[in-house]
Amino acid sequence: MQNNIQLFIENQQSEGLFEITIDKYISDIKQFYRFVKLKEDKDIEELSQQEIKVQFDNYIKHLEKEKYKPSTINGKISIINKYLKVLGVECRHNYLKVQKKLYIENVITEGEYSRLLEQCKGNKRDELIIKTLANTGLRVSELLSLAIHDVDKEDIHVKGKGGKYREIILPPQLREMLKTYIKDYRKNTDREKLFTGTRGALTRDAINKMLSKYAKKGHVKKVKAHPHSCRHFFGKRLAQNGESLDMIKTYLGHESITTTSIYTQRSKEELERSLGRNFI
């Protein structure tokens, strides 16, 4: 098993995936291995296609019984399919069919955004991190890759999902705020990175903890205390301002316009308010 997993890691690294993404893949593969029943000294690729299919089917049924979300199960199916393909195993599991949701989840509202900013008043770095996420649509890995000199560049390119580079735009007001932060507030604990702490460049974990802290203080749901909620907030703002889906897709680096189309949907809170006004 270990040799096969190492082969998979090397394959994914060659495709430019981030280490944290690969680690998630490996976690799901190991979960699959803990469930499947293999004879001693035998690995998955040594089973017949029918045997693998039975094991895979049983694994998915187990996840459904354990009440995993359909989207989570489909994510695991995708990873195991990738893993088997790397091993040269001709066995693919179909995804669960899920009805399209009527609303977009885990996107902060304008009020929640204001409350997050209110809670970090006095901490210019944290305030600028939230404003940068919400006004650029950056993923957290992309945010952490920003360097000091990027703020003065006319063209800023970040390495996104799948190792693809895309250009981002800093709104003029945000750019000036970042320049002031660099001059007056940034801790000089790292020579290059834009956002730093007392121990050096900030990490993904530090950003997540920071958002969780302010969300709790500002009475924002825990499920929304995540950098990606700010990315969704940015996308929804663009859609509400009449920006075309093609433009939003390109800017956010989406593979499919179907992904981008979620920003034309209402949030769950908006739908609940609408139902509350019109019924009973």
Residues catalogued as catalytic: 139, 161, 228, 231, 254, 263
Give dist(CA 114, CA 120) in Å, integer. 10
Amino acid letter, residue 198: T
C-beta pairs of 116-120 under 8 Å, 24+ apart in sequence: 116/211, 116/214, 116/215, 116/218, 116/220, 118/218, 119/213, 119/214, 119/217, 119/218, 120/214
Burial of 258 (0-12, 13-18, 19+ CB in 10 A): exposed
Give dist(CA 273, CA 163) in Å, integer. 40
Give dist(CA 81, CA 259) in Å, integer. 21
Q: How many CB atoms lie within 10 A of CB 10?
A: 11
Closest listed residue to residue 211, CA positions, set 80, 75, 106: 106
Please, are residues 157 and 149 in contact by the beta-carbon 8 Å criterion?
no
Angle between helices 49-65 and 19-35 (to 10 degrees): 100
Amino acid letter, residue 128: L
Please, are residues 204 and 144 in contact by the beta-carbon 8 Å criterion?
yes
**Kind of pairing between the strands at 196-197 and 200-201:** antiparallel
Contacting residues for 48 by C-beta, under 8 A, at least 6 apart: none
Give dist(CA 83, CA 91) in Å, integer. 10
